[in-house]
Structure 1
Amino acid sequence: MVTSKEQMLDATGLMCPMPLLKAKQALRQLQAGQILHVMASDAGSSRDIPVFVHRSGHTLKRSEEIGGIFHFWIAKGLE
């Protein structure tokens, strides 16, 4: 379910590093506290996105793999 505080980024079919780059771009458009739901099929995303989130001051609220698709819910932090 997508709420007004949540934006969705479908990066399925994109190869590394594009899901991470697209997530960075999308996060720049959000305000602090908003949620970005990223979907990616590239296995490298399962490592790259959580590391980026940890290092960048955002919060990984939840992550899971469903049918080969990696889902990440990222709360934008203060920049």
Structure 2
Amino acid sequence: MNDNNKSSGSTGGIFWTLLAVAFIVLKVTHLIDWPWVWVLAPIWIPVGIVLAAIVIVLIVVLTKETIRSLERRNRR
């Protein structure tokens, strides 16, 4: 297989990682005076978005399964 055909999704990960490293360097060198929660935001915000999407999908799937189960029970 050819390793040159990587997905474009990895480019986004590299961007967020480099941004986080840049913010950490700026914070440690006292060039910015941000709270650590915002310095580390490039790490936790994408993770939070993915987790929120997973929770939403799980809620939708569980709701549909509950409705199907109730419909089957009512048919009997």
What range describes the TM-score normalised by the shorter chain of this pair? under 0.3
Higher strand proportion, which one?
Answer: 1
User: Going by fraction, where is helix more abundant, 1 or 2?
Assistant: 2
Q: TM-score, normalised by structure 1?
A: 0.26
Structure 2 length-normalised TM: 0.27
Rg larger in structure: 2
